A and B are shown apart, each in its own frame.
Chain A
Amino acid sequence: MAEQVTNHEIETNEHGHAESSAHTEKSQDVFSQLLNENIGDHHSLSFFGHGHLDLPKIFIDNGFHFYWNGNQMEEAGLFTEHHHHYVRTSDHKAPALDLSITSLVFFELLGAVLLFVVFKMVAGKYKKNPDKAPSGFQNLLEVVFTYVRDEIVRPNLPNDKVVNRLLPYFISLFFFILVLNLFGLIPGGHAATSNIAVTAALAITAFIVIQITAIKESGIGAWFHHLLGGAPWWLFPIMVPIEIISMFVKPFALTVRLFANMTAGHVVILSLIGLIFFFKTVFVAPVSVGFALFIYTLELLVAFIQAYVFTILTAVFVGLAIGDHSHEHEHADAH
């Protein structure tokens, strides 16, 4: 009898234990789901769990295929969804090129369209009344624009000719990154800059701008000479590899900096919210929400700082790539 009771007790204990471990597993599931929903890239837009908007699917695979949503794609029968990936129905392999609009691409396009419309509007205002003082939203943009021009671009580039040529690029870069960062702070929005592919693409364009400007401004000979880094010619076995590596490290650092900064903020906020699910009490909520609010305001600051840092570092790198040989002349004069 006693044995039975203890057995029963052990069983219930085991049962209880199993239940609680199932609970923790469940709360971890909630957390990873939260992380995935808020940081991952998706084929649809979700509105706080109230409905989905399926985004268009585009494939290039023996021709161009376009579908407005998943249902249309399934009906057409050429492609199907398999474990959150789109594959050919015939052999369950990925199509040659999947250009489907995902949530991050959607927010990127939204940012681009928004910037285009806003700047077109403001430019129209300047064209209409060139002598009138700016008003309203025009004022706000003018302040940021002149800040980027006078504080970020101009001090780092050698002359006004280069400034005027590269200013459109830097303005677009700054505002594009800023808008993408800010989209991440809108509830239901995603920061496209928290995906490493997006920041890598931005850094690759920066790399191209840096190299082309350097070659255009100082000539191809000076560009090759720059690979020596100002050292005597017989040091080239060491200097040339170092200079080539540093050429590629710069955009890589830009990529990782923006990506990690934007992702880290989101992960910290979600971890703080996730604490509520881990402890499963309401009493953690004020602490978590309070800290999350603090991190949120910090992220608002970081969104501006990272846009500023990405732009100013690109400007500094352009300036370095152009200006190095003139510095060498100064050094040569000094010696």
Chain B
Amino acid sequence: MDASSLAYLAAGLGAGFTVFGAGLGIGKLASAALEASGRQPEAAGDFRTTMIIAAALIEGVALFAAVICFVLTTK
């Protein structure tokens, strides 16, 4: 096994872990937002906006990791 195949392995594992983390984060966020709008349906619109902003921030961090994985595959 040479260095480039290790890089491919790292990229694949990294992409998997990225999805794991991002899925956990956005899942927790969505569950909290749903619970909140279940308790207070009249404020559902506000929760949705805040949720999308937070989801975008989580996604941004996940995408940084995905870009690193992508760079690894082109090594």
Query: Which residues of chain B are near A253, meaning CB under 8 Å?
Result: 57, 60, 64
Residue of B nearest to A263 (CB): B70
| Cβ-defined contact, B67 with A256, below 8 A | yes
Q: Bound state CA distance, A308 and B59, in angstroms?
A: 14
CA distance A331 to B58 in the complex (A): 28
CB under 8 Å from chain B, chain A span 249-274: 253, 256-257, 260-261, 264
- The 8 Å CB contact of B49, one of A256, A257, A312, is A312
**Option from B52, B64, B66, B67 in Cβ contact (under 8 Å) with A309:** B52
CB of A170, distance to nearest CB on chain B (Å) = 15
Q: A313 to B49, Cβ gap below 8 A?
A: no
Residues of B within 8 A of A309 (CB): 52-53, 56
User: In the bound complex, what is the Cα–Cα distance between A20 and B60 (angstroms)?
Assistant: 41
Contact check, B64 vs A313: say whether CB atoms are below 8 A apart.
no
B26 contacts chain A at the CB level, 8 A cutoff: no
Contact B52 A308 (CB under 8 A): yes
Cβ of B63 within 8 Å of any chain A Cβ, yes or no, is: yes
Assess the B53–A256 pair: CB atoms within 8 A. Answer: no
- Give Cα distance in the complex from A309 to B66, angstroms: 19
B56's contact among A151, A155, A313, by CB below 8 Å, is which? A313
A240 at interface by CB-CB < 8 Å: no
Asked whether, in the complex, the Cβ of A257 is within 8 Å of the Cβ of B52, the reply is no
A316 within 8 A of B: yes
In contact, B64 and A256 (Cβ under 8 angstroms): yes
Roughly how many angstroms separate A305 CA and B52 CA in the complex, as a whole number? 9
SS class, residues of chain A in contact with chain B: helix
Nearest residue, chain B, Cβ from A260: B63
Instruction: Determine whether the beta carbon of B59 is less than 8 Å from that of A313.
Output: no
Instruction: Give A316 to B60 CA distance when docked, in angstroms.
Output: 15
What is the minimal beta-carbon distance from A183 to any residue of chain B, in angstroms? Answer: 22
- Nearest CB of B to A174, in Å: 14
Given A312-B52, A316-B53, A264:B60 Cβ within 8 A? no
Instruction: Tell me the nearest residue of chain B to A306, going by C-beta.
Output: B56
Closest to B63 in A: A260
Determine the chain A residues whose CB is within 8 A of the CB of B57 once the complex forms: 253
Q: Are B56 and A260 in contact (CB under 8 A)?
A: no
Residue of B nearest to A257 (CB): B60
- Interface code A227-265, partner B: CB below 8 Å = 1, 0 otherwise? 000000000000000000000000001001100110010
267-317 of chain A: CB within 8 A of chain B: 305, 308-309, 312-313, 316
A151 touches B49 (CB 8 A): yes
Which A residues lie within 8 Å of B67 (CB)? 256, 260
Per the bound structure, the CA–CA distance linking A308 and B48 in Å amounts to 13
Residues on the B chain within 8 Å of A305, using CB: 52
Least CB distance, B19 to chain A, in whole angstroms: 11
A151 CA / B49 CA spacing, docked (Å): 9
CA distance A330 to B53 in the complex (A): 24
Contact across chains for B53 and A257 when beta carbons are under 8 A apart? no
Chain A residue nearest in CB terms to B55: A309
Known: A308-B52, A313-B53. 15 other contacts (CB 8 A): A155-B49, A253-B60, A253-B64, A256-B63, A256-B67, A257-B56, A257-B59, A257-B60, A257-B63, A260-B67, A261-B59, A309-B52, A309-B56, A312-B52, A313-B56
Listed by A's residue number, 19 A-B pairs whose Cβ atoms lie within 8 Å are A151-B49, A253-B57, A256-B60, A256-B63, A256-B67, A257-B56, A257-B63, A260-B63, A260-B66, A260-B67, A261-B59, A261-B63, A308-B52, A309-B52, A312-B49, A312-B52, A312-B53, A313-B53, A316-B53
Q: Top 10 A-B pairs ranked by shortest CB distance?
A: A260-B63, A309-B56, A253-B60, A257-B60, A256-B63, A257-B63, A260-B67, A260-B66, A256-B67, A312-B53
